[in-house]
Structure 1
């Protein structure tokens, strides 16, 4: 088919004479209807939208009256009609199209205002399968796509947030819209229907337990533009998906400056880490790695032990807590420069204390994410992406296999499990020293595991010396490795630092050499059978 010629230029304005309004979200509908009616625009509408407009005293024409065909099949068929789609899709610069409109008594529709059945919200509230299916909009996406395709002549609005821009332009242009606005609105419209279809596809794939479908689709809504990305020369924005996992995307910011790209990334890492623990926990994160983590009974005391691991790196860090933040801890937090504090709840006294730190971002989530819940993680590559299960693997005491002559003591066992959960959230190669429910040395992101082990031991010694302590805090600690020791050197570095027990996945071809070295050093060592690479 040959495309019509004589296309309009970007300076051309189209006067709106007839508008179709059919929305699930009625916010701003009456104000928009009154604005259009005051400019002589004929209003077409359906169902609840028509009723709302009529109750507001506006003259509105039901779509069924306009088409001469009633709504049927419980409203499933109402706008799917040539008088509607022909009025939207007809090119006004085509003699053939104009002749067809005249022959079939089709009136032009210059504005389509549609927002879709609340499918995402219906799924989010846990509705039954049949209810979710009934909230899959058919007519709405068809109208939106038709109007967006014919944006040379038709304006389409899919979100109440864009009503003001439409009304401002119509006011400035005597009831018309520019091609520039119509193109922008068309782009937003296609993004909305794409995200809507993505939500439906993801839900249906989840219902069918198809975790890695032939076509993977993902939709997101921009929550905020960011000042920049990881670095000032990179532009960035924060998008949210339909996943309602408690955390940074669902958090409410109580105070402080706008969150940056790095703040968001680090805060997410911190909150996911503290969610690992059933006991009260505090984590301090810097550059997406923990620099101090502790568990216990009293949050204020836990904070001090987490901070002691690396108070230098904690400066300007992110703090996550898995309990309600109260005044005793808040008062201690005010003594250190921090970027973000996140917790499920914050009491009034704690909030008042932190309010004195005007630049501190304080976030509440209302709940903790489930560390064992299934989910997906995505990493972009050139020309594609990698998709995998979220690392929701967890190790309990019953899963451990003691491979050395000496078994860990009860205290060592508790610290081993704690350290291994922390190591899951440390960039590989990861080594974590822990003692009495607190980290005392962390080595992260090194190309060699022995280097991570040495860095963690050095940190433990340095922090002890800075605090006036006579011996390294690694003495009497346990050590966790996120993956197996390929050689005995990393394990021996831990033993030299004073560690007494080791937890690692096992599985190296040199396991027997590593076990022998552990026995000779008097270490207790357990294998988990589970690795936690974090790249």
Structure 2
């Protein structure tokens, strides 16, 4: 009796080549449904339609095709169990040796603009996951291929073992299959969760504008949290050479850094990606502003500048702290032009990312062949959540993407900021939120002058930032990511020449800091928003 293979695939990559070898070299009998059967017939391969094999027609517009005892009895049967063999004989069921199934493209569908809930629901596969799970459960006897990338390995396994497969190989396929269905179900759950939350929010908004005065709250919908990661890419190592590391793509469709185009340079490292993301998040703050350049070192900005041209912005950012910028990561909010390319290649940098790259600069950049140059058009699009693993669990929070809203800020000193000072304070505040706490940022003329990052006390961060800025503090402004618990840093900043301070406020001793600012003729603005970054 020929061995039986069930093939039902949405992604038909490699299907015909696989099926031809199964039939011609290993005498498999093929059973397929819908578009898969059609593709096999067009390739002149012998195939039996599922409906002909089961004697039951496809119904409900194709929603029910493979949900039949002759299909699942064959997949789940244990040929070495007498009672199972008796059931197969009594019901005219043939045992299945191979299941080749990949699922409706749910994630690809919902990624398209304008997709309705009804359209998304029709891309929820039922028969496919059922066959995959059944075959994976019965991997003692059945091989399951849930991804076209597995086809060649399966054929090599048959070739190496006289047309048979080893239990270790089938078990690895089963693990991949269960991981695949888990990710598929998680994608559906996440999508429906967002849909229900959006619907709940719409109802809340409606009630808020009604005359009833009724209130509501969004329901807590999920009792678990899963990250759907695909396409693992091994990295050379992690933060240190003794730490293995892998880069995973979030979701089935490439986006963010997975969608970036690397034009030249060595492979990206773990630390490169962390620093690139830090640089991207800062330059995104100024996406719609004038040309902006950001230089990051060890996840903190060491130079940020806005200027009339992107080349000038980069040169100012580099000059802000040229020592730290050596070996840094650069992000630009404008395409790399020839002048900028020449500046970028005049020193040692690890990576450069921009929304585009002028074609004529390829030769200039090639002078630094190890420089990693990336193009990421949608640099302003970040993540909606941040996730950190801790022992025994994970922490999940909404990303700190609250925009700077100076119209809600409060000037608490007698001296009022000039329009120019207010624009400088906004610039400093946007940068400060991306500096590790305790964070102090000093800026002037839309250029960072001093950065104090990651100190155990705010006085230490202020001291580092002021010392780095040196004489450039005269007339500059200072931003702090948290409140001043005492007035000492305010007095130190004034003595160095700082003229205006922006900070969240909220200390029991805010009055002391405000009083000191008034005594010293400073402007102080409270944002009432804290931006700690741990």
Q: TM-score w.r.t. structure 2 length?
A: 0.92
In structure 2, distance between residues paired with 1:493 and 1:433: 13
* Contact 1:16–1:176 under 8 Å retained in 2: no
Query: Which string of whole-angstrom CA distances, capped at 9 and with x for unpartnered residues, describes residues 478-511 of structure 1?
Result: 0111111111122223223221100011111110
Aligned residue in 1 for 2:168? 180
Which of 75, 81, 92 aligns to 1:88? It is 75
In structure 2, distance between residues paired with 1:77 and 1:338: 58
Q: TM-score w.r.t. structure 1 length?
A: 0.92
Aligned residue in 2 for 1:36? 22
Query: Which string of whole-angstrom CA distances, capped at 9 and with x for unpartnered residues, describes residues 233-261 of structure 1?
Result: 21111112239796323212122111111
1:368 CA drift (Å): 2.8
Q: How do 1:487-506 residues align onto structure 2 when only pairs under 5 Å count?
A: 487-506=486-505
Which of 64, 67, 81 aligns to 2:54? It is 67
1:165 CA drift (Å): 0.7
Which of 291, 313, 335 aligns to 2:302? It is 291
Which of 357, 364, 385 aligns to 2:368? It is 357
Aligned residue in 2 for 1:274? 283
Q: How do 1:43-62 residues align onto structure 2 when only pairs under 5 Å count?
A: 43-62=30-49
Q: How do 1:51-200 residues align onto structure 2 when only pairs under 5 Å count?
A: 51-126=38-113, 127-200=115-188
1:338 CA drift (Å): 1.1
Structure 1, unaligned stretches of length 5 or more? 1-14, 462-471
1:524 CA drift (Å): 0.4
Structure 2, unaligned stretches of length 5 or more? 198-218
Aligned residue in 2 for 1:390? 399
1:148 CA drift (Å): 0.8
In structure 1, distance between residues paired with 2:483 and 2:231: 41
* Contact 1:479–1:499 under 8 Å retained in 2: yes
Query: Is the partner of 2:473 in helix, strand or coil?
Result: coil
Structure with bigger helix share is 2
In structure 2, distance between residues paired with 1:479 and 1:293: 14
Aligned residue in 1 for 2:478? 479
* Contact 1:16–1:175 under 8 Å retained in 2: no
Query: Which string of whole-angstrom CA distances, capped at 9 and with x for unpartnered residues, describes residues 210-241 of structure 1?
Result: 67633223211133111211112211111122
Aligned residue in 1 for 2:417? 408
Query: Is the partner of 2:62 in helix, strand or coil?
Result: coil
Q: 1:513 to 1:246 in 2, by over 3 A?
A: farther
Equivalent pairs counted in the alignment come to 509
Aligned residue in 1 for 2:261? 252
Aligned residue in 1 for 2:514? 515
Query: Is the partner of 1:64 in helix, strand or coil?
Result: helix
* Contact 1:90–1:97 under 8 Å retained in 2: yes
Aligned residue in 1 for 2:212? none
Query: Which string of whole-angstrom CA distances, capped at 9 and with x for unpartnered residues, describes residues 180-216 of structure 1?
Result: 2111111111111111111111111111126763322
Query: Runs of at least 4 residues of structure 1 off by over 6 A?
Result: none
Aligned residue in 1 for 2:311? 300
* Contact 1:16–1:110 under 8 Å retained in 2: no
* Contact 1:148–1:156 under 8 Å retained in 2: yes
Query: Is the partner of 1:421 in helix, strand or coil?
Result: helix
Query: Which string of whole-angstrom CA distances, capped at 9 and with x for unpartnered residues, describes residues 408-460 of structure 1?
Result: 12221111101110111111111000001110100111110110011111122
Aligned residue in 1 for 2:433? 424
* Contact 2:441–2:465 under 8 Å retained in 1: yes
In structure 1, distance between residues paired with 2:421 and 2:324: 27
1:262 CA drift (Å): 0.7
In structure 2, distance between residues paired with 1:216 and 1:149: 25
Q: 1:123 to 1:66 in 2, by over 3 A?
A: same
1:28 CA drift (Å): 0.7
* Contact 1:46–1:63 under 8 Å retained in 2: yes
Query: Is the partner of 1:494 in helix, strand or coil?
Result: helix
Query: Is the partner of 2:472 in helix, strand or coil?
Result: coil
Q: 1:212 to 1:267 in 2, by over 3 A?
A: farther
1:132 CA drift (Å): 0.5
Aligned residue in 1 for 2:205? none
Query: Which string of whole-angstrom CA distances, capped at 9 and with x for unpartnered residues, describes residues 356-385 of structure 1?
Result: 2211111112223246xx811111111111
In structure 2, distance between residues paired with 1:341 and 1:194: 37
Q: How do 1:290-329 residues align onto structure 2 when only pairs under 5 Å count?
A: 290-329=301-340
Which of 328, 341, 346 aligns to 2:352? It is 341
* Contact 2:434–2:533 under 8 Å retained in 1: yes
